[in-house]
Structure 1
Amino acid sequence: MSTGDTAFDTDAAHDEAIRAIRTRRSGHNFDADAELDDETLEELIRDAALAPSSYNLQPWEFVAVQDDDRLDEVVELAYGQEHVKEAGTAILVVGHTEPETADRVFDEWVEAGRFDEETGQQVKEQTVAGYQSEQAGRDYGIRNASLAAQNLLLSAHARGLTATPMSGFDFEGMAEFLDLPEDKIPVMLVAVGPSGGEEPERLPRRDVEEILHRETY
């Protein structure tokens, strides 16, 4: 697995990261005449995959749809949200409900010296046990893949693209249309593409004083 490490100016990266977080917004104004090229698509997914995950299991996949006819079907499954077609690219963020990467990942933990073999085996068994119930597996998949979805949105914004996340779609229908295996679940649909220009002002956000609770709720 790639580490994704890149040399960069720490202060500049901090400023850019904060700027991306504070200026990102869900957009619907896409340039329907422009396309998202393969290199940019792969960079978006590379950034998404740098999201944190429980024990680095990285329980996510990404299904990109760009074919016009198939995008029409995605629009229908997304209850007629036409901006999906206008974006030119729809990415379904998919979560794992089974710890299928556990053997590989914990071998990497041991090889990196983070665990000795005995401890690595114990922690792996504990982690796998956490997926034993269907509900727990779904929860793990959704929580972790949602972190990757946010990375995807921030990467798109930092690159000057427009992106919007959607949970309003036919989950079962989308899973069937995209041939997801039974142990994979749709988590988030993201429409992404070249920007078509200005967006309406962001709606107000709740104040910190309203949402921050100290020591207890």
Structure 2
Amino acid sequence: MKSPSNAATGTADIDTDADVRFPGALEALRTRRSGHNFDPETDIDDETLEALVEDATLAPSSYNLQPWEFVAVQDDDRLDELVDLAYGQEHIREAGTAVLVVGHDEPKTADRVFDEWVEAGRMDEETAQATKEQAVTMYDDERMGRDYAVRNASLAAQNFLLSAHARGLTATPMIGFDIEGAAEFLELPEDAVPVVLIAVGPNGGDEPERLPRRDVEEVLHRETF
């Protein structure tokens, strides 16, 4: 195993409008890269991993159900198996840590979450019960339940990536992996949907220049497509 290390937070100059309230947030968003250059001699430590997950859990979610889980793999032999499940993407091993972001296609947190709505004074009990029934009913449709799993977990994954970048780490998301194989390998329950696999670790050096992005004029549509 590699020795643990805390990565230093990197910064970069970036122009922002004068009225931007959180320029650091824009800097992180605009400078984040899906990197593949990791330091193979160093791993992130437990404190850093837990901080990344904590930041990920601050993502928005439908009804605040927070239908996500994070499965971390750091054992060298198991990372080798994940490389095979990810069709030979070697940077998983080089990163030293792989995290599978998982979404739930069942509203398993509904009782707890709507109790918390009531306790916080955000809903009365009658409204909370009616809203919970509405939320739970939406999951009755198999496709909609899976859509909720993927969409909510994807929001959490983006938070994870931004948190890693803010901490000076390199992280890259992958959706090209054996979904069923990963679920079996990580012993996921039946209601858990593998959404995105993230390799994360200390930065190993500069990355290539960012490839061109589509212009706003090309992708922004007003009123209709």
Smaller-chain TM-score range?
A: over 0.9
Identity of aligned residues (%): 76
TM-score (norm 2): 0.91
The match for 1:30 among 34, 38, 42 is 38
Alignment of 1:65 with 2:73, yes or no, is: yes
Q: Which residue of 1 aligns with 2:47?
A: 39
Q: Structure 1, unaligned stretches of length 5 or more?
A: 1-10
Alignment of 1:120 with 2:131, yes or no, is: no
* Pairwise CA distance, 1:155: 0.3
- Tell me the amino acid that sits aligned with residue 201 of structure 1: E
Match of 2:69, SS state, is strand
* Pairwise CA distance, 1:48: 0.3
TM-score (norm 1): 0.94
Alignment of 1:188 with 2:196, yes or no, is: yes
* Pairwise CA distance, 1:15: 1.0
State the Cα deviation string for residues 152-198 of structure 1 (Å, max 9, x = none). 00000000000000000000000000000001010000000000010
Q: Structure 2, unaligned stretches of length 5 or more?
A: 1-18
* Pairwise CA distance, 1:213: 0.4
Q: What CA RMSD, in Å, does the superposition of the two structures yield over aligned residues?
A: 1.1
Distance 1:75 1:84 in 2: 6
Distance 2:141 2:81 in 1: 33
Distance 2:21 2:223 in 1: 32
* Pairwise CA distance, 1:66: 0.2
Count of aligned residue pairs for this structure pair: 207
* Pairwise CA distance, 1:13: 7.2
* Pairwise CA distance, 1:134: 1.3
Distance 1:133 1:179 in 2: 25
Distance 2:87 2:63 in 1: 36
Q: Which residue of 2 aligns with 1:19?
A: 27
Match of 2:198, SS state, is strand
- Tell me the amino acid that sits aligned with residue 47 of structure 2: E
Match of 2:195, SS state, is strand
Closer/same/farther in 2, CA of residues 185 and 34 from structure 1, 3 Å limit: same
Match of 1:95, SS state, is strand
Alignment of 1:203 with 2:211, yes or no, is: yes
